[in-house]
Structure 1
C-alpha cells in the first residue's frame, strides 16, 4: 500500500516543527532556560504593551487554560509579568520583563540564523518565495463542500 501524499496543512506543521525544534535546541545550547513550544508561541504573539491571556489563547489557537499555564510558567521563570490593564479594572495584561525582552531578542536573532541555514539548504530564491506566499493575504476561510 502506498502512503498518500501529505496535504498542505501537514507540510506546514512539519515546517513549523522544524523551526521550533531548531530554535528551542539552539536557545538551550546557548544557556537559556528551556521553554516549551507553547511558551515560545506566547512570546511570538505578545504585544509590547501587554496582552490578556484570553487574547494570547486566541492568537495561538489554544484554550485559555493552556495559555494560562504557559504564561504562568514564564512568569515563574522571570520572563513575563502581570500588570493591571488600564482599559479594564477586571483584566490583567501579560508583558515581558527586562529579562524576557533580552531572551526574546536573542530568539529573534537565532531565528534569523535558522532562516539563513534554510536558505543555504533550499536556496534564497525558495525562501524569498516562501515568505512572499505566506505573507499574501488569504481572505476569509472558505466554506466548501467536499465532492
Structure 2
C-alpha cells in the first residue's frame, strides 16, 4: 500500500508541475511546492517547516532558499524570538499558490471522473479518517530453532 500511495501522489505532483509549466509559471520542485501547503499565514520558521515536511533542516532550508530567490517567499523577523526568522509568502507567492490550488481542484476532478465519484469520495474519506499514532510492530525473527 505505501507504494500505491506514493504512486498516486506522484501522479498528482507530475500533473500539477506540468500544468503549472504549461501555464507559464516558474518551474518549482515538488519539495518547493510542499512548502506552500505547510506555511502559516503569519509565517513559519525553517525548523518548523522541516518538522512538518518530515525532512532535515538543510533540505527545508534549500527549498526555502530557492523560493526566496524566485520572490515567492520572504523572511521577516520573528516577534517571538530575536534569533529566528519567519518565512511567509509574498503577494506573487500567494498568486502562484492560488493558481496551483485551482489546478489541483481540476486534477482532482479528472481523477474523480476516471475512477468514479463514489470511489473518489471513499478515497478522500479513507485518507482523512483518523489513523492514530503509527504502530510499533516488532519485526518477525528469522532463523530461530523450533519455529515452523
TM-score range, shorter chain: over 0.9
TM-score of the two chains, using structure 1 as the length reference: 0.93
Segments of 4+ moved more than 4 angstroms? none
Q: 1:134 aligns with which of 127, 140, 143?
A: 127
Mapping of 1:81-120 within 5 angstroms?
A: 81-120=74-113
Is 2:45 the partner of 1:52? Answer: yes
**Aligned-residue offset at 1:136:** 0.7
Q: Distance in 2 between matches of 1:67 and 1:145?
A: 32
The one-character-per-residue Cα deviations of 1:73-111 (angstroms, maximum 9, x if unpaired) are 000000000001111111100000000000000100000
Q: Distance in 2 between matches of 1:80 and 1:101?
A: 9
Aligned alpha-carbon RMSD (Å): 0.7
Is 2:24 the partner of 1:31? Answer: yes
Q: For this pair of structures, how many residues does the alignment match?
A: 140
TM-score of the two chains, using structure 2 as the length reference: 0.92
**Aligned-residue offset at 1:137:** 1.0
Q: Which has the larger radius of gyration?
A: 2
Mapping of 1:51-70 within 5 angstroms?
A: 51-70=44-63
Corresponding residue number in structure 2 for 1:73: 66
